Structure 1
Amino acid sequence: MSSVRIKSVVRNVVEKSDGSPEPFLGLEDLASGTGRLLVNELPLKAAEDSIRHKSGDVLFSKLRPYLAKSHLPQVPGTGTAELLVLRPGGLIDAKFLLYVTLSQPWVEWANTTAYGTKMPRTSWELIGDYRTWLPPLEEQRRIAGFLDIETARIDQLAAAREVQISALEERELAVIADMLSGGATSNDGRATGWPWLPNIPPAWSIGPVYAYFSTELGKMLNADRASGMNQRPYLRNANVHWYEIDTSDMAAMSFEADEVNRYSVSPGDLLVCEGGAGVAEAAVWDGRIEECYFQKSLHRIRKSSALPVEWLMYWLRFAKSCGVFDAGGNLATIPHLTGEQLRQYRIPIPTEGQELVRNTGRSIDYMAKVRRTLGQAQSLFAERRQALITAAVTDQFDVSAASGRGVDSA
């Protein structure tokens, strides 16, 4: 199989914007691995240092976290300077080039050639040496047409799974809302004054978190503690997600003997993320590590009443979905849930929380299993999509013979 360097058939065009408002493409607007936009319409923007492109150019992200992001724009516009503008020459079809940039060998080459420490990125000088199979134009267009059809089938199946996943999330929130409200309505309940949870049973009360739980913020990390003598594993917000704690990537720092009670976690403790995109995400520690601690990015919650910590966990889940912890509408602000804020939040207090939590937990566990199965299917679709693209643009099979088989057997 003969191959050519991509830079022999493609030019990297760097044309700065003249400052006029044009449709602007950011990395956040691109789906990974598909070439598709995540938005219906790009915003008009006069962005400094933006790069102009035209219809028929292929845009590829040179930033390592986004190396699987490519796009073939239908209209001229501008984009972030983190995009390489690849303009096909007369020997390569634009759609074929797009699929080349979505293939596994291309992404691996881009990853290998990325340089830098904090935000590694590749460059045209490096990625331009990538070698690709280049059949005649007619064959390139036939391959691109085949991939258009087959990837559309995969995308259709993935979209159906996504609808199911979204429906499960809505069902989960509905189950939690029913638990937190005790099934009360405006006809038979007590008004709370909260638009997102308007009624609770008359026999229930409302009280602050501090009256039912004790809270503690974890230990701050610094250079001395990271290299101290008494190194112990600790949990940080990256380990905590809704209902589960991931201990596959644990860090360690020094904890002294007098800090054990304050900063250790015990089975049954609730850990809550203090800030960032995962603010308020919470899970119960199961004691899988005998001696474990927690960092300042987490709150540790312990029950000081009969109310189980899972009640607060489910309240946090529902409250976040309703925007209770949003950062005042300022998207540039990183949201935080301080210890004082957490203690002062008022929550519904049921007459019997254990049974409600137990029943809700069973329902959510079942939905989580179904969601994991659907998520695995989505991963398989993504793998199948890239494998199909890779095989087609590297001459691993004849698309004419393969047409019509596609994903039906996947």
Structure 2
Amino acid sequence: MSEFHFLGSAQIPKGWELRRLKHVGTVLSGTGFPHDYQGNEDGEFPFLKVSDLSAPGSEKWVSYAANTVDREMAKELGASIVPENSIIYAKIGAALLLNKRRLLSRPSCIDNNMSAFVPKIVLPEWALWWMTILDFSEYVNPGAIPSFTEGQQKELPFLVPPLKTQRRIADYLDRETARIDALIAEKEKMLALLEEKRTALISSKVTRGLNPDAPMKPSGLDWLGDIPAHWGILPIKYVAQVGNGSTPAVDNPEYWGGGGLPWLNSSVVNDRYVAGAVRRVTPLALKECHLPIIEPPVVLMGITGQGKTRGKVTVLTFKATLNQHLAFIKPMKRILSAEYLRYVLVMAYPFLRSESESGGSTKGAITCDQIAGFRIPCPSIEEQYEIVGSIKEDEEKFTGLYKEVSSSLMLLKERRAALITAAVTGQLDPEEMAA
């Protein structure tokens, strides 16, 4: 792929030049920021980290950082004082691939995971918009930890129109992207409200049933509140079997492959239903590693880790086994519906997370004993089926609305990106931008 592929078949407008970053400004590298120097909020210069690129209110300009340094501290650290109107960005790691660029509104220092471009013969606002269309992933050193050397940064392509044109385009993009961003924010708010309403509706039906006039009683559980008077409250172990699995030795080929049983890991809880398995285990593994053979329908729960998977649940609809990071909950068929149980546990997710933390220190695990002893609302199996059916009807409606809003949101983001590219590559009519 050509490094100038963003131009497509278009011609560079007359009076524009295609140059390199090193020809239009300088690149400054950041400096290590030892912990002993951190925590000062009264220094003259903000000391910016990669996380500051994502701070609220820093979508274009950055002026605030959690840490500051004075001039003497900057000198001790060997830190360059990056002038205002410079463009800062991540130069290593996953943050580099996010392609976030920001303008400095005041002189600052940056840490050694960042670089700064100091414009010399181009307008800072133009430089920011131009660099917005550059996908750094196309220029960096590949590998487990992507990185971007100063030399590579200096060779980035840079399109330079006349100064008056730079100003016109920058002002135009400021206006137009602000308008589009307002529409994007509106759509994102709509999505959040839809999700909030969907969650509230599910919660109401799971905890109160479908009859709004049913007499209520206290459940005795803080996370649950009142429930219909005719419902029961039972520990899961009274209405389901609970257990977990293990991981056979990964270096033993006799345990893996073939047409064996699907073997599941905790990534499956990110979907409502388990779609499939990446790996399969042999009958020998099932026997020697004492793996459970799970018959559907079953609810699976992630039980370890600090990420979101701990406490999340999914429904398994095919025969499988699993590793030690998942628990299975096999409902008694005539007493508990797997679908209903999933909805209950989705609602209980925040409580399950907090219960797996002891006195504020994260244990990072939910035990099978905790799951077995966890008390849940138990209407009759017939009422469970009615509740599940009603919730699914509601979810179909919400899914349609969600897809509609998400589609319009995606189109707005695509329109924004296309507009920026067209403007900074000289494909828009100057009169249109002046209007």
Which TM-score tier does this pair reach, normalised by the shorter chain?
0.7 to 0.9
Q: CA RMSD of the aligned region, Å?
A: 3.7
Tell me which residue corresponds to 2:29. Answer: 14
Report what 2:176 is aligned to.
150
Match of 1:354 in 2: 385
Matched, 1:138 2:164: yes
Picking from 376, 388, 394, the partner of 2:425 is: 394
Q: Which residue of 1 aligns with 2:126?
A: 96
Question: SS of the residue aligned with 2:301?
Answer: strand
Aligned to 1:338: 367
Q: Is the 8 A contact 2:302 2:325 kept in 1?
A: yes
CA drift at 1:172:
1.6
Q: AA paired with 1:345?
A: F
Which of 315, 336, 351 aligns to 1:284? It is 315
Worse-superposed segment, 277-286 or 139-148: 277-286
The residue type equivalent to 1:296 in the other structure is: Q
Name the structure 2 match of 1:57: 86
- Structure 1 CA distance, aligned partners of 2:61 and 2:372? 38
Determine what percentage of the aligned residue pairs are the same residue: 24
Count of residue pairs brought into register by the alignment: 391
Rg comparison, structure with higher value: 2
Aligned match of 2:205: 179
Cα deviation, residue 52, structure 1: 5.7
Does the 8 Å contact 2:28/2:118 carry over to 1? Answer: yes
After superposition, give the CA deviation of every residue in 1:71-109 in whole Å (9 maximum; x if it has no partner): 1233444554322222111x1111222222221xx11xx
Taking the TM superposition and a 5 Å limit, the aligned residue runs for 1:1-400 are 1=12, 2-14=17-29, 16=31, 20-21=40-41, 23=46, 25-31=48-54, 36=59, 42-44=65-67, 53-63=82-92, 65-66=94-95, 67=97, 68-89=99-120, 91-103=121-133, 106-107=134-135, 110-115=136-141, 117-182=143-208, 188-220=215-247, 222-224=249-251, 228-231=255-258, 234-245=263-274, 251-252=278-279, 254-257=281-284, 259=286, 262-263=291-292, 266-274=295-303, 275=305, 276-287=307-318, 293-305=321-333, 306-320=335-349, 322-326=350-354, 328=357, 333=362, 335-351=364-380, 352-400=383-431
Residue 178 of structure 1 deviates from its aligned partner by: 0.8
Q: Which stretches in structure 1 are left out of the alignment for 5+ residues?
A: 405-410
Q: Do 2:315 and 2:339's aligned partners in 1 also have CA atoms closer than 8 Å?
A: yes
| Partner AA of 1:395 in structure 2 | G
1:168 Cα deviation after fit = 1.2
Task: Tell me how far apart the structure 1 counterparts of residues 233 and 366 of structure 2 sit (CA, whole Å).
Answer: 20
Contact 1:225/1:254 (8 A) holds in 2: no
| Offset from partner CA, 1:34-73 (integer Å, 9 cap, x none) | 9717999753467998986443121112235332222123
Separation in 2, partners of 1:297, 1:118: 25
CA shift for structure 1 position 396: 2.6
Is the 8 Å Cα contact of residues 231 and 377 (structure 2) preserved in structure 1? yes
SS in 2 for 1:118: coil
Q: Is the 8 A contact 2:140 2:148 kept in 1?
A: yes
Cα distance between partner residues in 2 of 1:44 and 1:227: 55
Q: 1:159 offset after TM fit, Å? A: 0.9
Task: Pick closer, same or farther for the CA change 1:45–1:151 going to 2, 3 Å.
Answer: same
Counterpart in the other structure of 1:408 = none
Aligned counterparts of 2:22 and 2:144: Cα–Cα separation in 1: 27
Distance 1:56 1:302, change over 3 A: same
Using the TM superposition, name which of 215-224 and 304-313 deviates more: 215-224
One-letter identity of the residue aligned with 1:368: T
Q: Could you say what secondary structure the match of 2:353 adopts?
A: coil
List runs of 5+ in structure 2 lacking aligned partners. Answer: 1-11
Q: 1:375 to 1:200 in 2, by over 3 A?
A: same
Structure 2 length-normalised TM: 0.77
3-state SS of paired residue (2:327): strand
Q: CA deviation at 1:174?
A: 0.9
Alignment CA distance shift 1:227-1:41 (3 Å): farther
Q: For 2:301 and 2:106, how far apart are their aligned partners in 1?
A: 45
Displacement of 1:345: 1.8
Tell me: CA distance 1:146–1:15, structure 2 relative to 1, closer, same or farther (3 Å). same
Distance 1:268 1:229, change over 3 A: closer
Structure 1 residue 266: Cα displacement: 4.8
Please give the per-residue CA displacement for 1:313-354, whole angstroms capped at 9, x wherever unaligned. 21222222x454146499995843333332222222223322
Residue in structure 1 matched with residue 4 of structure 2 by the alignment? none
Q: Which amino acid aligns with 1:13?
A: L
TM-score normalised to the size of structure 1? Answer: 0.81
Deviations 1:95-137 (A, max 9, x none): 222222221xx11xx2133235332222221132111211122
In structure 1, distance between residues paired with 2:90 and 2:431:
31
Aligned to 2:3: none
- Counterpart Cα distance in 2 of 1:375 and 1:269: 31
> Do 1:143 and 1:392's aligned partners in 2 also have CA atoms closer than 8 Å?
yes
